[in-house]
Amino acid sequence: MDSHPYARLTPDLVLDGVAAANLRPDGRLLSLNSYENRVYQVWLEDGAVVVAKFYRPNRWSDAQIDEEHAFAHELAEREIPVVAPTHSLRFADFRIAIYPRRGGRTPELGDEKTLEWIGRFIGRIHAVGATQPFGQREALTPKSFGHDMRAFLLSTNFIPGDLLEAWKAVTHQALAGVDRCFVGGHTAIRLHGDCHVGNVLWTDDGPHFVDLDDARMGPAMQDLWMLLSGDRTAMGRQLRAVLNGYEEFAQFDRSELRLLEALRTLRLIHYSAWIARRWDDPAFPAAFPWFNTQRYWQDRILELREQIALMEEEPLAAG
């Protein structure tokens, strides 16, 4: 018998949860691609279509989810294109948020005008995010995203025995590099937190941002670096385009450029720990069958060695 909380999340329970928000589903629903939470497109009798998000139990407290929603509404009220929930409720031990459906396509990050446009709205998000802190949500720090995740992975049996010492050594060295990059501090503001291309949808009217599930306190660079790709020359060009838009609305502290590769390193370690923490959810072994393999951990060791070298280089120039 599957005892994972999501095992109870039948189509009928999903529809009943939407109905509990005083909406009238017509019986049709479609499961959308999401692993951390469960997300469904639900058709209503009046012809409207909504997106219902069932939060992973025991990840966030009600107060933390309320802060996420309040931030989304604060941004939307300032006409920043963030999709905010229209309904928030608890039903059958699940915390549920219901959103209007917003379509869009993947933005062309190779286009500097697109990057500038996205940067403009991230600047607006950060201008609002800097006005007050989160009181309940977690902060992105080397400890929370790196050292704690390393300790957790070492407490599991996922890392193959013959690679364990190499992984311990490379993560120790990588996190020492991260710690050095974070010396000197930074201004922590409220962030989107997971601002990669999959969470930015593009229409003819420009971008809109979805999924504030990872909103937290942290450095502004966290919402910028995942938009960059390629070699240093390409990344520098992309960053200049992003900042051209960003700095119309918020000042970017150039000292945070030293955090770019440190933040990438933290994400790599955090990602492995995230999958390991969720391995009891049947969706994860099915979606990530390569995780529990020798090759996966060999690749992570090589990846972190590259990051150690990158963190030793001069920060990317932003012009």
Q: 99 - beta bridge partners?
A: 51
Residue 109 has a CB neighbour count (10 Å cut-off) of 20
The predicted structure's pLDDT at residue 133:
98
**Tokens read off for 282:** 């049947």
* Domains parsed from the chain with CATH numbers: 5-100 (3.30.200.20), 112-312 (1.10.510.10)
The string of pLDDT tens digits covering residues 22-75 is 999 999 999 999 999 999 999 999 999 999 999 999 999 999 999 999 999 999
The predicted structure's pLDDT at residue 319:
59
Catalytic residue among 16, 194, 204, 253: 194
Residue 274 confidence (pLDDT) above 70: yes
The predicted structure's pLDDT at residue 156:
97
* 127: Cα separation from own chain's centroid: 19
* Count of all residues that appear for the chain in the document: 319
Q: Give the Cα separation of 61 and 174 in Å (integer).
A: 31
Q: Are 181 and 311 within 8 A, CB to CB?
A: yes
The string of pLDDT tens digits covering residues 161-215 is 999 999 999 999 999 999 999 998 899 999 999 999 999 999 988 899 999 999 9
* 60: Cα separation from own chain's centroid: 14
Residue 217 has a CB neighbour count (10 Å cut-off) of 20
**Is the whole-model pTM more than 0.75?**
yes
Q: Give the Cα separation of 2 and 226 in Å (integer).
A: 36
Q: Which residues of 90-108 are buried (b: 16+ CB within 10 A; e: fewer)?
A: ebeebbbbbbeeeebeebe
Q: How confident is the model at residue 277 (pLDDT cuts 50, 70, 90)?
A: very high
Q: Give the Cα separation of 31 and 280 in Å (integer).
A: 20
93 is catalytic: no
Q: Give the Cα separation of 251 and 69 in Å (integer).
A: 25
The predicted structure's pLDDT at residue 185:
86
Q: Give the Cα separation of 16 and 107 in Å (integer).
A: 35
Residue 87 confidence (pLDDT) above 80: yes
Backbone angles phi, psi at 38, to 5 degrees: -115, 130
Q: Give CA separation, 26 vs 41, 46, 123, 202, in Å.
A: 12, 8, 40, 29
Q: How confident is the model at residue 238 (pLDDT cuts 50, 70, 90)?
A: very high
211 is catalytic: yes
Catalytic residue among 66, 148, 162, 211: 211
The predicted structure's pLDDT at residue 1:
39
Computed on alpha carbons and rounded to an integer, the radius of gyration of the chain in Å comes to 20
Q: 217 - beta bridge partners?
A: 139, 190
The predicted structure's pLDDT at residue 44:
98
Q: Following CA atoms 75, 79, 80, 86 in sequence, which dihedral angle do they give, to the nearest 10 degrees?
A: 60
The predicted structure's pLDDT at residue 183:
96
What burial class does residue 298 get, using C-beta atoms within 10 Å of its C-beta: 0-12 exposed, 13-18 middle, 19+ buried?
middle
